[in-house]
Structure 1
């Protein structure tokens, strides 16, 4: 769409791409007239992820010509200062090429407002600025407020948006709020946080970011399951022995020790990313992929999910010590700057969950995450039961393990299937072989970065990939018993950096004759 066509779209009526009919799947959806205010625009998340993602959306032609970006922060910046800061972030983090014409058009709509979160005058100035931009930039009263700030500030910002009148607007214009995790520390604090946000913004206008749900391979879980008859008959307890969901990192805390201490691996990853992956793997087929239907099926799964007892044997947690990470010798957690040596915060967490449903009864879901593990990988492995009978001679299957379907979320996005095949030769010998599908090899299109997809979806009012307040609270309900047990039972177990976690995690599975995959 040309600049001329974009500026001729009326800013006071709901925007429809004049080049695209609802049935035309060739062209992507493009956001209509709108702008975004980022609170915490000077933070790491905005600099590394949000600002590059916004530029990439503009570079791909998915933002309107009049898109306006307003930054709010304590720095005393001019418009030029703000532009220089964003330009530096974009050049460092954007995945698409830097183009002067795209940058110049985007920079025209950049504004910075200086103030604190409790500064009435600054928020009044922000409200006046948005009103002016609606007239000069054609944003039509449509604004998304991105809270890229710690949850402790959510209440202040929401209160100020309400007090200054920015949270409400007359239809057809809209106001939305985008919220970053963590969504509380437990179920009770999550409820309190939701009450604060929903007292200002209705739930339909709240978009809670879980960036894992924006990854292409996470969305491919639904395509794999529901677009292929091959998998659906086997996707149940009759054939699947257990499921392993892993998010492993090879990095340590680095400069995040102060933030991480008191949160830990379970709150940081299991409560949101891994439980959401569990819901997508285990849910029933939705009627369609509208937000309401998709969220309804996920919530059915979450209501039926619980931690398996006894927690002393079905959970594990640990803290990494110094060791070799590849060719580099790295220091241990308690030597990290800013971390309390006496802290019981875990950097490795694993738990066993079960789903009380006809499809999944008796199938354990093993969730694990950790830092300073063997390699960086996120995957979902569905491990199948052994065949009830084997006609092959004794000793011919010594190199064969269970059949596995592995959905690789990162870094080598794709799907792997492992099954037995005859070894060439005169003897009947069976060994495991892999059938491997890789995104980068199968498609020429480059997958969009997760924040690109999620920011665009929020501007388009497409809520399918955003957890609702009930989903968040149900996730905490599942995890809270584990956290409460850990809080009462001593310190985490040590594990050496570069390994795959503490010995207690291996014993979790060994008790039932199973073992963790080594990705």
Structure 2
């Protein structure tokens, strides 16, 4: 297979993801000269559009979603020249031959980005096969959701595997394209100070929070069928957990990194009923704006969870006895994605008799809205100390925005699309990872069903049900807020 594909095919090319993320990302890569000048970008969807009509849709998307300082009319015009369009109903085989004819010569390699409804995965794969668009020089990127449990995930993966070898399948988790997530590996494995403490001897607990202030955002049917556990925990949060907890890989390559991640996922202990909380937002206020409940937004009663908090354990030598607290929800107090590594206290406080009080070190890795790495350390307040020693927690900050102020800030899909075109699978998810994640998630849902545990109500604009506070405080831990 060529190192880099000469043609990119976008399924779902008129959808929200394409407009908000894919087209702006591809333009940014074009603007910086990171994709070949002769790269052909084909969009396909059910709408009957000409090339020029699709280019106008793309122009409108760039106008709406590109930052003002990125808009260069000359470069936008040359980027739009890359775009072509072919309508297709992916639910039937009819039309795939026309798509192949429109693509023409793909001997230079074809990269496919498949962002469609789950029920279209199988017919789309069959159509690609029937039209000769699944050969050895074709790789495919799969946007979630890839099923809603282990069984349905296997059906989709089997369908894709019938046409594509595993090394040509790129399962997308956009969190892995975030710069700060990649910096997590650099923090661990490029700095001698952290790795000796990165275990049960040095770490008390780990928290992972992904909070959203938004509600359904027009995804009513999808979200009500999916819920927070499958929408956020099964993919993003478990991938973050795996990166935090994995052993050092031999190399920074796809096989080494993913081998270590899947070991962690297979070591996850099943969660008991006492170690899980799920909830659904009621009415409240977010950012000073009054908002309705989930059922108000949905328009009908539902028991779908919009919040999940879990206490997870990785059952291996490195992490024995260290709890990983996971929390995610909609209509939360603020938009925030972060990882908190809480280290253990020093074994003896030499300042105690002089009034010095200690707090354990804490490493905070913020993924959004801003990106930074902050290490909280103890320092002595200046003074003559005649009334005792005063110790205070102070931050050592690495603001990625400031430290790399001259570097172009990129959204995750820029990196992932470029890696898909270039054929680098390191930041994509392998099948055995996906199945290990689903196995753990299915066990949680089985407990909810068996115990008939209904979602607990929480006010919009809060940090979730009070039971999620109790989940940590039983262990003497408070959520980082």
- In structure 2, the residue matched to 1:450 is 412
Aligned counterpart for 2:19 among listed residues 18, 32, 47: 47
C-alpha separation between the residues in 2 aligned to 1:371 and 1:392?
Answer: 44
Q: CA–CA distance in 2 between the matches of 1:255 and 1:162?
A: 33
- 1:239 equivalent in structure 2: 202
The answer to whether the aligner puts 1:468 opposite 2:459 as a matched pair is no
How many residues in Structure 1 have an aligned counterpart in Structure 2? 475
**Match for residue 272 of structure 1?**
235
Contact 2:45–2:87, Cα closer than 8 Å, also in 1: yes
Q: Distance in 2 between matches of 1:165 and 1:410?
A: 42
SS in 2 for 1:200: coil
Whole-angstrom CA distance in 1 between matches of 2:311 and 2:352: 36
Aligned mate of 2:352, from 393, 401, 421: 393
Q: TM-score, normalised by structure 2?
A: 0.95
Q: CA–CA distance in 2 between the matches of 1:140 and 1:92?
A: 35
1:408 aligns to 2:366 (yes or no): yes
In structure 1, distance between residues paired with 2:330 and 2:55: 35
Of 35-44 and 109-118, deviating more is 109-118
Query: 1:300: Cα distance to partner?
Result: 1.3
Correspondence for 1:350: 309
User: Is 1:34 aligned to 2:6, yes or no?
Assistant: yes
User: Are residue 81 (structure 1) and residue 58 (structure 2) matched?
Assistant: no
For the residues of structure 1 that align with 2:91 and 2:478, how far apart are their CA atoms? Answer: 52
Q: CA–CA distance in 2 between the matches of 1:245 and 1:118?
A: 39
Determine helix, strand or coil for the equivalent of 2:326.
strand
1:86-235 to 2 correspondence within 5 Å?
86-95=58-67, 97-131=70-104, 134=105, 140-169=107-136, 174-235=137-198
Q: Could you give the per-residue CA deviations for residues 234-273 of structure 1, whole angstroms, max 9, x where no partner exists?
A: 1110111110011111111131222100211110011100
In the aligned structure 2, how far is the partner of 1:94 from the partner of 1:53?
9
Aligned partners of 2:142, 2:202: CA distance in 1, in Å?
A: 39
- The C-alpha deviation readout for 1:451-500, integer Å capped at 9, x for no partner, is 00000001111000000011000011122211111233232001111111
Distance 1:412 1:71 in 2: 32
Q: Which residue of 2 aligns with 1:26?
A: none
Q: Which has the higher contact order (CA 8 A, sep 6+)?
A: 2
Distance 1:389 1:294 in 2: 37
Cα pair 2:333 2:461 within 8 Å, conserved:
yes
**Structure 1 vs Structure 2 CA RMSD:** 1.7
Match of 1:300 among 263, 270, 274: 263
Query: Are the equivalent residues in 1 in contact too, given 2:91–2:120 (CA < 8 A)?
Result: no
C-alpha distance in structure 2 between counterparts of 1:198 and 1:322, whole Å? 45
- The DSSP-based 3-state class of the residue aligned with 1:47 is helix
Matched, 1:481 2:443: yes
CA contact (8 A) 2:93 2:126 kept: no
Which runs of no fewer than 5 residues in structure 1 stay unpaired?
Answer: 1-12, 16-31
Answer whether contact 1:210 1:466 (CA < 8 A) is retained.
Answer: yes
Displacement after TM superposition at 1:33 (Å): 5.1
- Provide the rounded CA distance (Å) in 1 between the counterparts of 2:146 and 2:478: 32
- Structure 2, unpaired ranges of 5+: none
Q: Is the 8 A contact 1:253 1:260 kept in 2?
A: yes
In 2, Cα distance between the equivalents of 1:476 and 1:262? Answer: 16
Residue in 1 aligned with 2:400?
Answer: 439
Q: Secondary structure in 2 aligned to 1:490?
A: coil
